Every structure is written in structure tokens, then in C-alpha cells.
Amino acid sequence: MNLVEIKSDEPVRTVRETQSEYAEICLPNYTNMLGNMLGGHVMHLVDLCGAIAAMRHARCAVVTASIDQMTFLHPIHIGELVRLKSQVNRVFRTSMEVGVKVWVENLQTTAIRHTSSAYLTFVALDAANNKVLLPPIEPQTEEDRRRYLQAADRRAYRLAQKDRTKSTG
């Protein structure tokens, strides 16, 4: 796989420009025998919402390179609204970390609960499936800066895990 350089006139993008929201009603065809949304379907929605944020930043196709651990804090029941929000936390050379948060909203009671969070790594590709060097991202709020700094630590951990897997495989 080749590496494609970005144009030198490529502007720095802000975290806000990458933010994405996605929502879906929990329908019976996405549930288990208990009437709870399948964890795999939640992961699918997380991947979709994360990819939208990544594409908003890269402005080209992206592929999922990794997803960090997901914990399911609360079940999502039939008829409830699943709400997801994502944003690019940090850009490296050809990859970027995207954070996704998942909430469930009971449309009858209006109760909202945080159900999951995940960090995904996406790689941008051009039309020939070559990796693309990404433009930088500029965190603008204190929360953006916190996520930006923490993303470097998470990346170091992921790379160390990857090295351990290679050496034992």
C-alpha cells in the first residue's frame, strides 16, 4: 500500500467540524430474546457514527483499523431511541482516533442514560486504496484539548498491544 501526500493548501480542521450525531429506534429485528438490542448491533452503530466523523475530517473514504473495549452499561429496549455522538479526538499521520458515546432515551418517560463509549481508529484511503496523510485537527475547547492529549496515551497503549500480539503470534 502506498502513501499519498496531502495537498499543501489543506487547511487545519476543528473538532467541531467533525462532530456527528446518529439516532435509531430499537426495533424487534435488532434485539435478543430478552427484547434488548444486540451488542453487535450497538457496535455496528458506533462504527457508522464514528466513520461519519472520520469522513468529515478526511473528506474521503475511511476504514476501521481498531476499536477499543466496549462496555454495555444499560440495556436498550425495544422502542427506545439510541442516540450516538462522535468526533475526531486526534489526528496522527494516516490515522485518527474518533470517540463515540451512546445514550438510550426512553421516549415515554424522557429518561436518558449513557450506555456505552468507545474509541475507534480510522485510516483514510484514496480511490486506489492508498493511505492518505491527514490534515491536522485543532482542539478548541478544554474538553477537546483533554481528549486530544488523552488520545496520545491511548494510541501508545494500542501500539504496544499490537507489538505484543506480533511477538507472541
pTM, two decimal places:
0.89
Q: Assess if residue 77 is contained within a domain.
A: yes
Strand runs labelled E in 35-111:
61-67, 81-91, 95-105
Q: Give the model's confidence band at 5: pLDDT under 50 very low, under 70 low, under 90 confident, else very high.
A: low
**Domain count of the chain?**
1
Domain that holds residue 85: 8-168
Whole-angstrom distance, CA of residue 139 vs CA of residue 145? 5
Could you give the angle at the alpha carbon of 44 between the alpha carbons of 116 and 61, nearest 5°? 115
Determine the pLDDT at residue 141. Answer: 96
SS3 content of the chain, % helix, strand, coil (to 5): 30, 35, 30
Q: Assess if residue 38 is contained within a domain.
A: yes
Burial (CB count <10 Å: 0-12, 13-18, 19+), residue 123:
buried
